[in-house]
Amino acid sequence: MILVSFNFYMVSFRSDYNEPSSKDTSILKQNDIIIPDVSEIVHDESHPLIIPDRKNETDILVMVMGQLKFLDKWYNILKSVDASISFVYASYDIQISQEQNATYLDDATFPFKAKFIPGTTWTQGRNMLAKEAVRLEKKRGKKFSHWLFMDDDINVKCEDEMIRIVYGNESCWQNVFNFISSSKVPENISTIGAIPELNPQPGLQAVSTADAYFAAFKREYVPYMLPYGKLSKGFSQWMSQAALFCIMRTCLESSIARIPYIRIENDLSRSYKRGLYIHQMKRIIKYNFVTEELGFENCMKYTLADVNQGLGATEVVPLVESEKFSSLIPSPELTKCAPMKRRFETWEKRILLA
């Protein structure tokens, strides 16, 4: 038995984002110290606080876009996880050989599909994977519970001394999927995500804006967020996610759950167009979300201060107070984003008719 006391802290998000407006008090700020009035609790590490008690209801489509050389790593990681997972890997540099593909397909216990998407940007690749998700759901006759997108260079780290008490003696990736399948995740959570270079929170917390390198969208909310907005040639690849931030803050405020105690990082630094530019963001919003058919103009007033990561952060709640955490997640205002759902449905129909 181990005696545990909870201490909470917040640190700033990565410095290459512009500072938000001083009026936004919900953003994570450097040196903020939060110490909730939490009693010390005795926990037995053989009975972890986070368990996959909704495992039977969780059916995850994992989609990774990256270099072919990383396929085998991802295949083995995901195959070793005890969860209902289907896996799509889209390589953009080299096409998988027939022999290698056949080896993976021989294992009927782990649904797998390889795609080759040469010459695509990050945004184009994500949308091609989303199209594949629509086709797979049509083929199997039912929807997945989550669409999980990941970049090929991310890694998870379970370094906190509390990990064994919180998750038990499992692999770090198993811990991630156990959280996704846990009742600690409230119904109103739309996404499970991460913020780079932020220390993992020692408790339950949700934000409105997070990075795209790990994004597990609950399927019921996918129509309000996807497909990613198309970018004009030469635009920063960050801008498709920046435009999505407006949708999140308009309709799904504070509904991205961060995974407690686990750090998610991307290990490689690849060359691509990056940066935040207000003229690019407004152009993406105008030509993707503000059309005569959609009439979605909520986002045109946004500034760069509105697209920082970590906006809309809730307080950090102890794991044993998941009901309190649920009460902090606002009800989604989906009527505001009904035009986005119509956009998705039109896009989906085109895919299925093609």
Question: At a CB cut-off of 8 Å and minimum separation 6, what does 90 contact?
Answer: 63, 64, 65, 66, 114, 115, 116, 117, 125, 128, 129, 132
- Rounded to whole angstroms, the Cα distance separating 231 from 284 reads 6
Q: How confident is the model at residue 140, as a pLDDT?
A: 97
Full DSSP string of 23-48: T-TTS--TT-EE------EEE-TTS-
Place of tokens 């044993």: 320
User: Are residues 343 and 244 in contact, defined by beta-carbon separation less than 8 angstroms?
Assistant: no
User: Residue 349, class by beta-carbon neighbours within 10 Å (0-12 exposed, 13-18 middle, 19+ buried)?
Assistant: exposed
Say if residues 250 and 336 touch (Cβ distance below 8 Å). yes
Helix (H) or strand (E) holding 264: strand 263-266
* 63: enclosing H helix or E strand: strand 60-66
pLDDT confidence of residue 229? 94
Question: What local confidence, expressed as pLDDT, does residue 302 receive?
Answer: 84
CATH number of domain containing 70: 3.90.550
37 within domain boundaries: no
Distances (CA, A) of 5 to 108, 161, 204, 323: 45, 12, 15, 19
Give the per-residue pLDDT at 249. 92
Place of tokens 């895919």: 351
- Collapsing DSSP to helix, strand or coil, 9 comes out as strand
Close Cβ partners of 4 (under 8 Å, ≥ 6 residues apart): 40, 41, 42, 43, 162, 165
For residue 229, the cross-strand partners are: none
Helix axes 122-140, 338-353, angle to 10 degrees: 70
Is 239 part of a structural domain of the chain? yes
- Asked whether residue 3 is assigned to any structural domain, the reply reads no
Domain annotation covers residue 40: no
DSSP symbols for 99-118 = HHHHHHHT-TTS-EEEEE-T
The model's pTM is 0.87
- The answer to whether the beta carbons of residues 286 and 239 sit under 8 Å apart is no
CB 40 within 8 A of CB 66: no
Domain assignment of residue 117, yes or no: yes
What digits encode the pLDDT tens for the residues 205-249? 999 999 999 999 999 999 999 999 999 999 999 999 999 998 899
pLDDT given at position 45: 65
Question: Is residue 317 in some structural domain?
Answer: yes
Q: What does the block give as tokens for 247? A: 């949708």
* Closest among 288, 301, 292, 294 to 336, alpha carbons compared: 294
- The list of the chain residues with pLDDT below 50 reads 1-42
Please state, in angstroms and rounded to a whole number, the distance separating the CA atoms of residues 121 and 115: 15
Q: Rounded CA gap, 158 and 95, in Å?
A: 33
Span between the terminal Cα atoms of the chain, in Å = 59
pLDDT at position 291, please?
A: 74
Residue 196's pLDDT is what? 83
Domain of 128, in residue numbers: 56-353
Domain assignment of residue 49, yes or no? no
> Does some domain include residue 30?
no
Question: How many independent structural domains does the chain possess?
Answer: 1
Give CA separation, 221 vs 174, 192, 226, in Å: 24, 12, 9
Q: Which amino acid is at 213?
A: Y
Q: How far apart are CA 49 and CA 325, in angstroms?
A: 15
